[in-house]
């Protein structure tokens, strides 16, 4: 069965009242039947739909000789005494009091403003307390209440209504009856109501009719983009916006991330949009995850990917900060969540992004705050469980700490799609830089571009120790470079020196004396020489004594090792030798020691203890009494003799590494002094410069993303 509707099958004219009847005929018949049988009914719907529903229900119940009384707060003759005006709420209470205590026959009393009986936090107002007593006072009355979906009702009021109906949006199967022939011509030849539903799923029938009546444009256009744009401008509500961010043109690199996002989300949606058979569309809708976790380090573009996904599917997006949702008032945090989901459903297709999701959705039982987080997680789960398969509303949670999220959120059916967005690698950084090159007219020379790729593979200078370059850091670098070019009036290409200036111009470095520089240069040269003469050490890429890494006056940067996942005993022993190299170089050339080797000694001790105690690589000490419990905790069951043996073996391993480093440096003292003098002269030595003086050694030909060996 095709879902395309010929123009002649559509109505020529359609009033709003008739559209409401066509859209909700089955539900309205059930509601009227309940009312006639004397059953109270609660209808959840938008405010602007309630009057049309009431008129329809009034006409239906009238046929069964059941009267309706509509309490809308408008003054009627006899409601108030002369000269005593009443406010809106007081008028509703007065009308309710008259209806309850003056009734002599069974009738339906309609309450269109039930939400006004509560405060914004869901607590009862003074008027609400009187209303509740009145609602339960006269059993002869049949209540018909209308509930706004964006406001909660107190349980004591909801319990009055055993029968509840939710009329949110318009049913997809009825959409074909809500478009006239004139309006259908604006979409092209043959109306596809299922494709149209994607953009109006959150609109009730009354609002939809008013929107379609205002559409402008030519008949039978080549495509419907102009009409859809008009619809999106109307449906995007509140804080939602329709982004224009291209996944490829505006986001550089991350080929694997893009491929997964396309294959699991975007391509499934594209295939669904091409289908013309309802059963196939429904099957494809079952495949789509509605909740997603984008996780990774700060600044890597998690929100950017969410916006690009929204652009690709033509969705509106709202970005909500987790901490901003919290409120000190009871119930207001949950209401904030309800409002966000309600707006998103009305603006579908939509994407809700909860930035810093872990700020309120960490594992329950781990909260250290007021406990409102528990209620917020429950409310979030309730809202997500209420999704209809046919409405395109996606929820994206971004976090730097996916491991601390509540497990209930991560199960299938909720946040089941997890997308890792790591720090950019060299290829990613190159593409990101090229995008900013075009946007900011930086005119990178080929050499400057590759230099920027290499430099952004290191730690961020002047930042917290261990901070890697993210997409945001690269953006900041390019903006700094653009500002420098603007101030200097540059018109030519950006060169290496320009990149280095943008990276380091405003970094506050320690002002070392010549003697201090000599100590640091000696220390780093010692690390480097030991690295050159140990076979398992990775290639050297850069040596610096500029104090441009947080917490260190100098560093030696190596490439990542060829084998990242299998670590051998030989590699660990070489690492120990390199760590000892800085200290031993100071002892050899300066006949003194600085406190700069403290960090090296701590790392070396940790490696040696792990090598002996955990990996069983220290002499005969294998299987020393470690027990892994069911909670994956390590318990050490050692005797005093075993502990003494472990300490002795750790000391032996460290002493062997120290002696090995000392021997390498003594045998190559001339090379050590040459490298130290080069560092004092140039401050920074990259692999290319090192290659001119050390042509036969293991030096990195290109950049990688390995961390530096920082010291001093």
Peptide bond into 349 cis (omega under 30): yes
Polymer length of the chain: 712
Closest CA to 702 of 540, 575, 565: 540
Q: For residues 65 and 59, what is the distance between their CA atoms, to the nearest angstrom?
A: 10
3-class state of residue 523 by DSSP: helix
Distance CA 49, CA 167 (A): 9
Q: Which residues pair with 353 in a beta bridge?
A: 319, 396
CA distance 245 to 103: 61
Look up tokens 């390199």; give the residue. 578
Q: Is the peptide bond before 670 cis (omega within 30 degrees of 0)?
A: no
First-residue to last-residue Cα distance in the chain: 75
Nearest CA to 33 out of 50, 57, 7 is that of 57
- CB count within 10 Å of CB 188 equals 15
User: Of the candidates 408, 397, 418, 308, which has an alpha carbon nearest to the alpha carbon of residue 366?
Assistant: 408
524 flagged as catalytic: yes
Structure letter (DSSP) for residue 463? S
Instruction: Determine contact, residues 451/496, Cβ cutoff 8 Å.
Output: yes
Closest C-alpha among 177, 264, 241, 171 to residue 212: 177
Q: Which of 458, 422, 426 is nearest to 709 (CA)?
A: 458
Q: Which candidate in 183, 383, 458, 524 is catalytic?
A: 524
Tokens at 143, concatenated: 């209540």
Phi and psi at residue 229, in whole multiples of 5°? -60, -40
Nearest Cα to Cα of residue 387 among 339, 342, 335, 334 = 342
- Report how far residue 302's alpha carbon sits from residue 398's, in angstroms, rounded to the nearest whole number: 6
Is the Cβ–Cβ distance between 131 and 73 less than 8 Å?
no
Decide the pairing of beta strands 554-558 and 540-544.
antiparallel
Write the secondary structure of 572-619 as one string of H (helix), E (strand) and C (coil).
Answer: HHHHHHHHHHHHHHHHHHHCCCCHHHHHHHHHHHHHHHHHHHHCCCCC
Active site residues: 524
């Amino acid at each position: 069965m095709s879902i395309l509707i010929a123009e002649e099958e559509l109505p020529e004219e359609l009033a709003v009242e008739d559209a409401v009847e066509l859209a909700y005929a089955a539900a309205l018949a059930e509601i009227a039947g309940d009312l006639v049988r004397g059953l109270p009914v609660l209808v959840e719907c938008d405010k602007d739909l309630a009057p049309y529903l009431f008129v329809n229900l009034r006409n239906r119940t009238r046929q069964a000789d059941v009267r309706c009384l509509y309490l809308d707060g408008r003054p009627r003759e006899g409601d108030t005494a002369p000269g005593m005006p009443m406010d809106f709420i007081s008028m509703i209470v007065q009308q309710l009091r008259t209806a309850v205590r003056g009734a002599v026959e069974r009738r339906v009393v309609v309450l269109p403003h039930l939400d006004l009986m509560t405060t914004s936090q869901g607590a009862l107002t003074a008027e609400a307390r009187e209303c509740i007593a009145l609602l339960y006072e006269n059993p002869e009355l049949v209540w018909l209440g209308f509930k706004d979906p964006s406001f909660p009702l107190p349980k004591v009021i909801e319990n009055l209504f055993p029968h509840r109906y939710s009329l949110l949006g318009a049913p997809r199967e009825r959409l074909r009856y809500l478009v006239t022939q004139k309006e259908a011509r604006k979409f092209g030849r043959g109306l596809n109501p299922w494709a149209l539903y994607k953009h109006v799923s959150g609109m009730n029938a009354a609002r939809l009719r008013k929107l379609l009546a205002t559409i402008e444009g030519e008949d039978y256009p080549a495509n419907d983009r102009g009409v859809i744009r008009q619809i999106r401008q109307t449906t995007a509500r509140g804080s939602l916006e329709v982004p224009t961010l291209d996944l490829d043109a505006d986001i550089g690199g991350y080929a694997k991330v893009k491929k997964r996002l396309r294959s699991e989300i975007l391509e499934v949606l594209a295939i669904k949009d091409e289908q013309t058979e309802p059963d196939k569309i429904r099957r494809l809708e079952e495949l789509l995850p509605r909740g997603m976790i984008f996780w990774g380090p700060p600044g890597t573009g998690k929100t950017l990917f969410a916006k690009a996904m929204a652009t690709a599917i033509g969705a509106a997006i709202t970005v909500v900060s987790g901490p901003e949702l919290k409120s000190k008032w009871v119930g207001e945090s949950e209401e904030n969540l309800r409002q966000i989901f309600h707006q998103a459903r009305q603006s579908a297709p939509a994407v809700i992004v909860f930035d810093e999701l872990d700020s309120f959705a960490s594992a329950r039982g781990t909260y250290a705050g007021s406990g409102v987080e528990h209620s917020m997680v429950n409310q979030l789960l309730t809202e997500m469980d209420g999704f209809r398969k046919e409405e395109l509303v996606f929820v994206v949670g971004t976090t730097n700490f996916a491991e601390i999220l509540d497990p209930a959120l991560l199960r299938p059916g909720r946040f089941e799609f997890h997308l890792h967005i790591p720090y950019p690698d060299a290829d990613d950084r190159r593409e990101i830089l090229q995008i900013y090159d075009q946007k900011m007219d930086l005119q990178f020379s080929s050499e400057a571009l590759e230099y920027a790729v290499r430099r952004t593979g290191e730690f961020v200078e002047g930042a917290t120790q261990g901070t890697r370059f993210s997409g945001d850091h690269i953006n900041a670098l390019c903006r700094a470079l653009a500002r420098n070019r603007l101030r200097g009036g540059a018109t030519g290409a950006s060169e290496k020196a320009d990149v280095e200036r943008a990276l380091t111009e405003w970094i506050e470095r320690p002002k070392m004396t010549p003697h201090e520089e000599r100590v640091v240069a000696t220390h780093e040269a010692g690390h480097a020489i030991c690295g050159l003469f140990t076979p398992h050490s990775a290639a050297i890429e850069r040596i610096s004594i500029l104090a441009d890494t947080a917490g260190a006056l100098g560093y030696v940067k190596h490439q990542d090792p060829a084998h990242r996942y299998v670590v051998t005993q030989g590699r660990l022993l070489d690492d120990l030798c390199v760590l000892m190299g800085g200290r031993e170089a100071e002892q050899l050339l300066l006949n003194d020691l600085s406190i700069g080797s403290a960090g090296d000694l701590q790392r070396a001790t940790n490696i040696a203890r792990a090598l002996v105690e955990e990996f069983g690589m220290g002499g005969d000490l294998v299987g020393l009494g470690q027990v892994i419990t069911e909670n994956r905790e390590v318990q050490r069951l050692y005797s005093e003799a075993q502990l003494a043996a472990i300490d002795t073996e750790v000391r032996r391993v460290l002493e062997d590494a120290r002696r090995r480093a000392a021997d390498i440096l003594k045998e190559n003292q001339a090379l050590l002094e040459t490298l130290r003098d080069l560092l004092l002269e140039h401050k920074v030595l990259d692999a290319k410069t090192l290659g001119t003086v050390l042509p036969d050694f293991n030096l990195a030909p290109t950049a990688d993303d390995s961390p530096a060996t920082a010291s001093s």
